[in-house]
Amino acid sequence: MSPRLLALGLDAASPALVERFAREGAMPHVRRLLAEGLSARCRGVEGFFVGATWPSLYTALSPARHGHHALVQLRPGTYDLYRPQDETLVHAQPFWDHLARGGLRCAVLDVPLSALSAHVAAQVVEWGSHDELYGFCARPEPLAREIAARFGEYPLARGCDAERRDEAAWRDFLERLERGAARKAALTRFVLAREPYDFALQVFSETHCAGHQAWHLHDPAHPAHDAALAAALGDPLRRVYAAVDSAVGEIAACAPDATLVVFAAHGMSHWYGAQFLLCQILVRLGVTAPLAAPAPRPAARAAALAEDAWLALPERLRRALAPLKDRAKEAVRRARPRTAPPRPSLDVDAARSDCFPVYNGLAVGGIRLNLAGREPAGRLRPGAEADAFCARLAAELLALRDGVTGRALVRAVRRTRDLGAGERLAALPDLLVEWSDDAPTGSLAHAGGRAAAIRATSPRLGVVEGANAYGRTGEHRPEGFFVARGPGIRPGRLDAAVSVLDLAPTFCARLGRPMTGVEGRPLAALGAAGS
């Protein structure tokens, strides 16, 4: 039986690529939906479109209201970091709880950064998600056992990230993503067939994984592009997007009477920015105090010596031996006993700093002010002193230039308080450093060690230099898309972008259970219940 409203999320899918692949015939189901439905671009949460997109979508609130902006956050009133999922991920209810409390039956499957609810009729958490915070679980309890028996583990059970892949490993990775999309479609159909639902939501993580890992193989302009490997594999993003499109068509076919919404809450493009240099920059500017260097441990000294010896080898020999090195590292990792993840740390002397970096994703850096009366050893007085400090620091960051191209490294520096108010504002960074995405930074891992260093320069800073050793070559963008088809929805395209905060209120209004006390607003073009 069809749910009244079926929503399918393409996590971090590029809206430009979705439209292109649909136009070229690689995504025929989305192409048909775009022709028959109402579509628009989505607009992510300004400054927080990496870590806060999904919590903001499902609560219809900004991070200043729900309190979540990153997988690791600063505990207010301390210099300690913690993982929000260990306590309370968001301080607001998801819209599916609102619907369930209103008597509607909901099936919520693999929504990123969401915990198991006690209210919905059926829920699957992290069977096939990009981020794993809680581990696989489901409601009701028998559903978890049924999924395990029928579908087993998600094909990419150990996650997406890898330092390096040869051609065989890339083929295996892409085939697993394709199988993951197909199996997720079968799982969704299985859940929908168990009983009738008013609302159902499934999210496909495959577009997210492929975008982070394989952007350099899709994009010939990327510094880490490998033309030979790309020719052997075909465009990895086209393959994965096509697999997800097939899954969308399969699910939609079993819910012909539903209002259908397909969306991406945020997008993806090349990896960019110099976030990995931010701490060094702040230390060089004299506003962040570094930690005293600890004496190296024997194991660390041995590892450093081994790395020095590796780098001393001729490049041709390193390339030949790289697969063997990777297999050895993986064998060591597998043999190492499982331990609790290390406690996150700021890695600076925050008490002696005027400000210090806090994690906010790689696209937009976060900076916390060491405010008197708020932090344990606050140094800056709130008001005029803190305002003047922020203005000076913003000017210094905006003066940063790429030492090779001369282009600005930082596009904007914003005060978080200027983006909106809320009871959880103090949980967020005070300053947001938006890096310029004019050019990709490459990836040391995927470029076989050839990635050029980034040189950040300014008259005051001098030069801070470093190479991007991060294994991902794609990074998030705030733009997403949505397309909806159903009774009373006129085909066409909206000129203005839709906020992700508006999606949940739109779903709820369409189902006759409008949300109150939230920041998002329902889209009139999608109509209300019974239209």
Domain that holds residue 364: 275-294+343-466
Token pair in block for residue 97 = 């709880």
Average pLDDT (399-424) is 93
Beta bridge partners of 23: none
**Do 121 and 50 fall into the same domain?**
yes
198 and 227 fall within a common domain = yes
Task: Please report, as a single letter, which amino acid is at residue 333.
Answer: R
- Report how far residue 246's alpha carbon sits from residue 29's, in angstroms, rounded to the nearest whole number: 7
Question: What's the pLDDT at 528?
Answer: 62
pTM of this prediction? Answer: 0.89
Is the pLDDT higher at 392 or at 329? 392
Average pLDDT score over residue span 161-173? 89
- The predicted pLDDT at position 345 comes to 84
- Separation in Å, CA 522 to CA 92, 206, 452, 466, 475: 18, 28, 47, 46, 29
Instruction: Give the residue-averaged pLDDT of 66-71.
Output: 96
Q: Which helix (H) or strand (E) holds 143?
A: helix 141-151
| Res. 340: pLDDT tops 70 | no
Do 282 and 375 belong together in one domain? Answer: yes
pLDDT tens digits, 443-469 = 545 545 455 578 899 999 999 988 777
Neighbours of 494 (CB within 10 A): 13
Question: What is the C-alpha separation between 294 and 487, in angstroms, rounded?
Answer: 65
Give how far the C-alpha of residue 17 lies from the chain's centroid of Cα atoms, to the nearest Å: 17
Q: Which of 316, 475, 443 is nearest to 453 (CA)?
A: 443
Name the β-bridge partners of 263: 9, 482
Among 320-324, 472-476, 513-517, the range of highest mean pLDDT: 513-517
Domain shared by 177 and 146, yes or no:
yes
Q: Is there a domain that residue 280 lies in?
A: yes
Q: Please determine, for residue 126, whether its predicted confidence score (pLDDT) is greater than 70.
A: yes
> Based on the domain organization, do 513 and 375 belong to the same domain?
no
In a domain, 332, yes or no: no
For residue 182, being part of any structural domain is answered with: yes
Q: Is residue 511 part of a domain?
A: yes
Residue scoring higher pLDDT (69 or 301): 69
Task: State the residue for tokens 């994965």.
Answer: 240
Of 427, 447, 466, the residue at which a domain comes to its end is: 466
DSSP letters, 76-133, are TTSS-EE-GGGS-S-SS--HHHHHHHTT--EEEE--TT-PPPSSSSEEEESSS-SS-S
224, 444 contact by CB (below 8 A): no
Q: Can you give the pLDDT at residue 135?
A: 92
The three-class DSSP label of residue 61 is coil
Note whether residue 333 is domain-resident: no
CA-to-CA distance for 185 and 199, rounded, in angstroms? 16
Total domains present in the chain: 2
pLDDT of 363 = 92
Amino acid 365: pLDDT? 96
Listed residue (420, 378, 479) closest to 69, CA to CA: 420
Residues 500 and 458 in one domain: no
57 token code pair: 């979508």
Asked if residue 61 and residue 197 are part of one domain, the reply reads: yes
* Domain identity same for 350 and 480: no
What's the rounded mean pLDDT across residues 197-217?
96
Extended strands (E) in 338-461: 355-358, 364-369, 401-402, 410-415, 431-435, 454-458
User: Of 466, 494, 515, which residue is a domain's last?
Assistant: 466
Contacts of 149 (CB under 8 A, 6+ apart): none
Beta bridge partners of 384: none
pLDDT score of 84 more than 50: yes
Q: Would you say residue 299 lies in a domain?
A: no
- Residue 80 is encoded by which pair of tokens? 């300690």
Would you state the pLDDT for residue 301? Answer: 62
Last-in-domain residue among 445, 466, 487? 466
Residue 138: per-residue pLDDT = 97
Amino acid making up residue 129 = S
Distance CA 85, CA 341 (A): 13
Q: Provide the percentage of residues in the chain whose pLDDT is more than 70.
A: 88
Tokens matching residue 445? 């891992």
Question: What residues are paired with 482 via a beta bridge?
Answer: 40, 263
* Alpha carbons 416 and 443: distance in angstroms, whole number: 30
3-class SS of residue 426: helix
Identify whether residues 450 and 482 lie together within a single domain.
no
Q: With bands split at pLDDT 50, 70 and 90, how would you rate the model's confidence at 329? A: low
243 and 364: one domain? no
Whether residue 511 sits in one domain with residue 452: no
> How many other CB atoms are found less than 10 A from the CB of residue 444?
21
Among 56, 10, 49, smallest CA distance to 33 is for 10
Which pLDDT does position 314 carry in this prediction? 73
- The reply to whether 320 falls in a domain is no
Q: Select the more confidently predicted residue: 255 or 528.
A: 255
CA atoms within 13 A on the CB side of 226: 21
Residue 212 predicted with pLDDT over 50: yes
In the predicted model, is pLDDT for residue 530 greater than 80? no
* 466 bridge partner residues: 454
Please give the backbone phi and psi of residue 208, each rounded to the nearest 5 degrees, phi first.
-65, -50
Q: What is the mean pLDDT of residues 494-503?
A: 96
| Residue 299: per-residue pLDDT | 62
Q: How far apart are CA 357 and CA 527, in angstroms?
A: 44
Q: What counts of helices (H) and strands (E) characterise the chain? A: 15, 21
What does the chain come to in residues? 531
* pLDDT computed for residue 449 by the predictor: 44
Shared-domain flag, residues 245 and 221:
yes
- Between 473 and 199, the higher pLDDT residue: 199
Task: Identify whether 326 is part of a domain.
Answer: no
Summarised one tens digit per residue, pLDDT across range 272-328 is 888 989 999 999 999 999 998 665 566 666 666 676 676 667 767 766 777 776 667
203: CATH: 3.40.720.10
Please, is 478 exposed, middle or buried when counting C-beta atoms within 10 Å of its C-beta (0-12, 13-18, 19+)? buried
**Calpha distance 433→440 (Å, rounded):** 17
Query: Mean pLDDT in the chain?
Result: 90
Distances (CA, A) of 323 to 1, 163, 329: 50, 11, 10
